[in-house]
Structure 1
Amino acid sequence: MTAHPMSPPPRSRRLAAALVGATLVLGACGEDEDNPLQDDEVEVQGGAVGPDVMVNDDLELLQVQLAYPLDGTYEEGEAARLFFAVSNTGSEPATITDISGPDFSGVQVEKTDGQGLPLQVDADDNLYVGAEGPPDVTLLDLDRSLRSSQSIPVTFTFAEAGEITVDAMVSAEEDPAVPPFDFPDDDPDQDPTDDDSPAPSPTSPTG
């Protein structure tokens, strides 16, 4: 399993500051009557960052999003890669035992030591899903079409904390050099990829 140690308190402050900045920008755009975010049927241009949700005092789901489809649209029956991170600031490991939702039939999970759930997040550590290398999670057999800025609910079940549901939005089309996570530039240790090789964009095959 690919997990990357970090120092939780400073990371939380830096990531929160970055997200507050993004929220302020979106808030300012919301004052414009032509803002495409006011229309669910209009594709949002630019890099969409998924939501962050506290699971309990120790666990946080970060930047939950679906990969951008190569042809711009997921059709019914296709699969979509899921990107997210989990921060565990507790003294005990945490375990994701299930990932489910009403708009897909199941998940395919690829790990360094095999396939399938569970996924473990070590104590005082982070887990990155969809970064360069496993683990990877793919939602199977979508029962509706989706394109950038549209979302579906995804429920994560933790052995220690129960269920939590997050709206996973389809990412906007990105430059190939842009990674699926937006870690602050001043803390490269947060990025699970090698410094010399750019990570792939959150882009998924269409089948």
Structure 2
Amino acid sequence: MTRALRAAIVGVALFSPIALSACSAGQVTQTATQQRDQVGAMAEVGDITLRQVQLAFPRSASYEAGDDAELTMAVVNTGDEPDTLVSVEGEGFDEAEISGGSGASGADSGEIELAPDETVFVGPDEDASVTLTDLADPLTVAQSLTLVLTFENAGEVTVRTTIATPDSEEERGEAFDFHHSEEEGGEGAEGAEDIARERESAIGDED
């Protein structure tokens, strides 16, 4: 995630009111909601807000069956108590490998800890990660996966995620310098004229 995107996510998270109440762990909450914004899915459950939930853009522009897909998102805990992402489930992949967050002890810890009033960024270049392993079918930008994320205190929330768009444009080649080309052409023309004059002078000497 870029710094600008981080700032945008944090700003919206801090100033958006959370109107949902916390629910018991291990239950599908009635207050869990999901909505779409311009940069990915957003969902709320209890004191937890998920923003920009997407699958990382693959190098080949689509995932093949058997590939692993990295989940990217910002997880905001607006509550006064810590919480923990304990599982990510759904169809279309083998399992979700989870690691990171506050107090993480190592890779593949199986959970992401969330301190009170904290935002944890999840993604390939972040301290926390969620990897969906062994995709069952090819996945393109027009398709999506439905995931169920379970938090220890806030409960479960269902979110539909699609592939993210590229975060950088392809580099363009160096522009053609017409001015430089004209200069080279001018030098070439002057050289040709000099050669022609030398030839005419040599012919005159022979006569």
Report the TM-score when normalising by structure 2. 0.60
Q: Percent identity?
A: 32
Task: Provide the residue aligned with 2:45 in structure 1.
Answer: 55
- The alpha-carbon deviation at position 135 of structure 1 amounts to 1.2
Match of 2:15 among 13, 16, 19: 13
Tell me the SS of whatever aligns to 2:53.
Answer: strand
The DSSP-based 3-state class of the residue aligned with 2:40 is coil
Contact 1:94 1:121 in 2 (8 A): yes
Which of 91, 104, 126 is the equivalent residue of 2:80?
Answer: 91
Unpaired segments ≥5 residues, structure 2: 1-5, 18-35, 171-207
Structure 1 alignment gaps of length 5 or more? 16-21, 24-47, 178-207
Q: CA contact under 8 A between 1:149 and 1:172: conserved in structure 2?
A: no
Q: Which residue of 1 aligns with 2:109?
A: 116
Instruction: Give the partner amino acid of 2:158.
Output: T
1:169 equivalent to 2:162? Answer yes
Could you give the per-residue CA deviations for residues 89-144 of structure 1, whole angstroms, max 9, x where no partner exists? 11000111111111111022343521232211100111111163321211001111
Match for residue 45 of structure 1?
A: none
For residue 12 of structure 1, give the secondary structure of its aligned residue in structure 2.
Answer: helix
Amino acid at match of 1:52: M
Q: Which amino acid in structure 2 is aligned with residue 73 of structure 1? A: S
Report deviation, 1:145.
Answer: 1.0
Whole-Å separation in 1 of the counterparts to 2:41 and 2:141 = 15
Distance in 1 (alpha carbons) for counterparts of 2:159 and 2:153: 18
The structure showing larger relative contact order (alpha-carbon pairs under 8 Å, at least 6 residues apart) is 1
Which structure shows the bigger proportion of residues in helix conformation?
2
**TM superposition score normalised by structure 1:** 0.60
Encode CA deviations 1:46-70: one digit per residue, 9 max, x unaligned: xx621111112x2111110001110
List per-residue Cα deviations over 1:22-50 (Å, max 9, x = no partner): 96xxxxxxxxxxxxxxxxxxxxxxxx621
Q: Point out 4+ residue stretches in structure 1 off by more than 6 angstroms.
A: none
| 1:104 pairs with 2:93 | yes
Shift of 1:176: 6.6
Matching of residue 74 in structure 1 with residue 53 in structure 2: no
| Deviation digits for residues 151-180 of structure 1 (CA, Å, limit 9, x no counterpart) | 101110111122111011111223079xxx
Rounded to whole Å, the distance in 2 between the matches of 1:127 and 1:102 is: 25
Report the residue type matching 2:82 in the other structure: P
Q: How many residues of Structure 1 are paired with residues of Structure 2 in the alignment?
A: 141
CA RMSD of aligned residues (A): 2.9
- Mapped contact 2:44–2:157 kept (Cα < 8 A): no
